[in-house]
Amino acid sequence: MTMAKVENNEVTQVGLPSDLKSYSLNKLRSLGWHKVVGTDKPTDPVEPGYRYEYGAEWSAQDDVVYGTWQVKQRHSRIRVGLG
């Protein structure tokens, strides 16, 4: 299960830190953590230079965090040679 931290009606962190993993769900909820509801990672291939990126959005109306998958362009890595 994936958890997300909600502060000021915005998701500020996705993924529970290891030091909180022993806490009960009620305790986590009181600290602003919510279970992320969403879908599995898509299996459809993406165009070269793109990748799937996971995100989460808070819905105050539904009192739930929705996980989302989006296709994002990869950042190119520039290598600088020393010499």
Adjacent-strand bridge partners of 6:
11
Q: Which residues contact 23 (CB under 8 A, 6 or more apart)?
A: 31
**Which tens digits make up the pLDDT trace of 14-25?**
999 999 999 999
pLDDT in the model for residue 41: 84
pLDDT in the model for residue 60: 85
**Which tens digits make up the pLDDT trace of 44-57?**
999 999 999 988 89
